[in-house]
Homo-oligomer: A and B are copies of this chain.
Amino acid sequence: MTKNEISKTVLKRLPGYLAYLKTISTTNISATALAAALGMGEVQVRKDLAMVSDGGRPKTGYQRESLIDDIEQFLGYDNTTDAVLIGAGKLGQALCGYSGFEAYGLNILAAFDNNAPASHTQEGKPIYPMEELENFCKSNKVLMGIITVPAQHAQEVCNQLIACGIKAIWSFATSHLEVPEGILVQYENMATSLAVLSMHLQAQIKEKK
């Protein structure tokens, strides 16, 4: 199975394994133990791990550190992906300053915003006007764009990014984006999480009554 053939659902489970493996300190871990710790099915975990690593041994399981390396390599965390961010508001600036992304191979080169309060983020990343987006993306060969503008401007920004050669878009705006084939949009929809949480609380409050 090549990387291209792996399903998106498997892909979405890999960062979870990785995060857990990094919090423990044992030398070896079996698929069974990993499944139990994460409350997942053993068969699923076994299959997922077999796709990214051939280090599993009967009885002892996987060497934890090798498994971490295999998953990180598979996810491309060892390659750095350069990105531009559009919308240097609070959320945009927070993302620019979030050091945690480096661990995932994401490097935000610059922010773009026509109404930015300053020419740099608090962490010193440059903020350029939108007119400079195309030149910047093309001369830096940037393929990933992060959208942190309000929903009503998101489609316009998305179109501009695609015109600049961007192939993958990470959108924090709540609106749906229309894109041509070959462009991937990944939504970070915080509203969805909030809906699930609120509903749980409403159900709990109702039970108490």
Contact = CB atoms under 8 A, between A and B. Distances in A.
Chain A interface extent, by class = 35 or more
A193 B170 contact: yes
Interface stretch (A10-18, A41-49, A56-64, A129-137): A10-18
A182 B198 CA distance: 14
A139 interface: no
A202 interface: yes
Contact of A199 (B19, B75, B93): B75
A18 B176 CA distance: 10
Given A167-B201, A182-B204, 6 more contacts: A15-B192, A38-B176, A76-B195, A77-B198, A90-B97, A144-B201
Contacts of A144: 197, 201
Given A196-B186, A201-B143, A203-B3, A23 B81 contact: no
